[in-house]
Amino acid sequence: MSRGRVSIPESELRWRFSRSSGPGGQHVNTSDTRVELMWSLAETTALSEAQRDRAAQQLKSRLVDGVVTVVSSQYRSQHRNREAARVRLEELVAKAVVPPKHRRPTTPSRASARRRLDAKKRRSTTKALRRPPE
């Protein structure tokens, strides 16, 4: 596993091909260039247990029975669509397994607190001047 990319073994990938829409003339009607790549997150050996849990949490909107599906039909060739789908899946998973950065709590500086209060006072004065006299 390299930085920013996850390597998924070919044996864990399932492919499905269908006819793609869009330009291509008669070629489109006869060749299966649209690619669906399915990968089971629940059964993978490419990720550690912690990474799998994190990916399941991040990709829960894309998971159907523990399977992530990526579709590619942007190219007219099945081979290029296969490559595009695989790259997209690897990037998706790599992004999902990155742990969140730990936020270190900070306090506002004295100057920023002063600026905030001054702005509130100016706004209050502006609004007070709009009110009719009592």
**Quick one: DSSP state of residue 10?**
G
What is the chain's pLDDT, residue by residue, as a tens digit (134 residues)? 445 667 787 777 878 787 766 666 566 556 667 888 888 887 777 788 888 888 888 888 888 888 888 888 888 788 888 889 988 888 888 888 888 889 999 999 999 999 999 999 999 999 999 999 87
The top-level CATH class assigned to 10-97 is alpha beta
CB 68 within 8 A of CB 92: yes
Residue spans per domain, the chain: 10-97
Cβ atoms within 10 Å, residue 93: 24
Nearest alpha carbon to residue 37 among 82, 93, 94, 96: 82
Identity of the amino acid at 129: L
Give Cβ neighbours of residue 129 (< 8 Å, ≥ 6 apart): none
pLDDT at 28: 57
3-state secondary structure at position 41? coil
pTM above 0.95, yes or no: no
